[in-house]
Amino acid sequence: MGMPNMDFVVRENRAVVRGQMAIVRLGTCGAVQRPAKLGDLLIAAHGSIGIRRDPDYWTLAHQHEQEQEQQAAAAAGHAHQQHHAAGNGAGAAAAANGNGSAAGAAAGGLSYSYGSGAAAGARPYMVSLPVPADDELAALLTAEATAVVGAGRVVQGLNASADSFYSSQGRTGSDFDDCNAALLGELAAAHPDLVSLEMETFQLLDLARCSRGSIKAAGMCVALAERYSNAFLEYSKLEELEIAGGTAALKALVRCRLTDGNTPAASMGEDAGPVEYVWA
């Protein structure tokens, strides 16, 4: 699970496989917004964005809190400034706990900022530009998935991969100061074609892009939950959908055109023969 393990899988298979490879990430995900819904096969035909929690945001916030406390302590030595200093100290503490009022607290998620963090341009979550999927493989996935489950159960769109199951996916709670209450809403607003949220596809597509043409990659996931309604798929239906998705992925991989292992990646062309190593 997660991008580090995807990095291991892709790099180590690339090291021992001869010739061009085709890889499909098949798994489960959350449906971010309609038209994606429970039980759909969501294909990352528009590529994937990466979401990473930025620790510098909290580091800067802590520094800001300490600066405010030091200023308040210094001002407390002057009786005529004591009341004013106490007011500033309280405001800083509230902001440092992620509960700042006015624009910062109302915005939440991607735009939430305060104190030194705001001055430095820090945000709690870094969101990458989209990395594309392989057009041919994504089209084959769509065609095969449609043949297996029907067009009404297949949705193409943009995927998002997070570095955490919790904070970077907008799951909130009181145990940690994650500043993520508005994260999903802001992502959906910024990317109207965003349909799926999981933890692996971005890393796969990024590695494929940087593979010097030796890897074709795409992603497809079963929508296990609707993040917009908090509805969950019945577990009894999951195995059937996993088999359907796996069948579609394998059929797509069989049809994907690849070059043989004797052709350098820089000169791989459509006339080269196919090879047998494809996997989901």
- 61: amino acid identity, one letter: A
Confidence of residue 43 (pLDDT cuts 50, 70, 90): very high
Q: Among 94-98, 109-113, 211-215, which stretch is predicted with the lowest mean pLDDT?
A: 94-98
Confidence of residue 114 (pLDDT cuts 50, 70, 90): very low
Q: Is the pLDDT of residue 95 over 50?
A: no
Q: Centre a 10 Å sphere on the Cβ of residue 221 and count the other Cβ atoms it contains.
A: 26
- Note the pLDDT of residue 123: 86
Give me the residue label for tokens 């909290």.
58
Looking at 97-225, list the stretches that DSSP marks H as alpha helix, in order from N- to C-terminal side. Answer: 102-107, 115-119, 135-149, 183-190, 201-209
Q: Is the pLDDT of residue 28 over 70?
A: yes
Nearest in space to 178 (alpha carbons), one of 164, 197, 192, 199:
164
Q: What is the mean pLDDT of residues 145-162?
A: 98
Rounded CA-CA distance 261/34 in Å is 42
Domains contained in the chain, CATH given: 3-10+20-56+123-255 (3.40.50.1580)
DSSP structure class, residue 178: -
Confidence of residue 167 (pLDDT cuts 50, 70, 90): very high
Confidence of residue 61 (pLDDT cuts 50, 70, 90): confident
The rounded percent of the chain whose pLDDT value lies above 70 is 76
Structure tokens at 158: 């943009």
Q: What is the mean pLDDT of residues 52-68?
A: 83
Q: Are 161 and 6 in contact (CB under 8 A)?
A: no
